[in-house]
Amino acid sequence: MSKLKTHKGAAKRFRLTATGKIKRGHSHARHILTKKNSKRKRHLDIDTFVDKTDAKRIKLMLPYGRE
């Protein structure tokens, strides 16, 4: 069987944990930060997990991550 290609856009945005969950960053944290308050910016910096409804699609795009 031929090799599967990793979706490079997904590979740059998501990381797989040792338990198989998918971590993601938040949007709106790169520029135009002056109008956002400190609490909002602080919380945008913390990574979170992808919702289980989206996890299956993302795992198909990342075929060589952890099972």
Per-residue confidence band for 65, with pLDDT thresholds at 50, 70 and 90: confident
Nearest-angstrom CA–CA distance, 61 and 50: 14
Q: Among residues of the chain, what percentage have pLDDT more than 70?
A: 99
pLDDT at 67 over 70: no
Per-residue pLDDT tens digits for 1-57: 899 999 999 999 999 999 999 999 999 999 999 999 999 999 999 999 999 999 999
CATH number 3.60.15.10 given to 8-61: no
Report the SS3 class of residue 15. Answer: strand
pTM: 0.83
Nearest to 47 by CA among 65, 22, 66: 22
Is the four-CA dihedral 11, 54, 39, 31 of positive or negative sign? positive
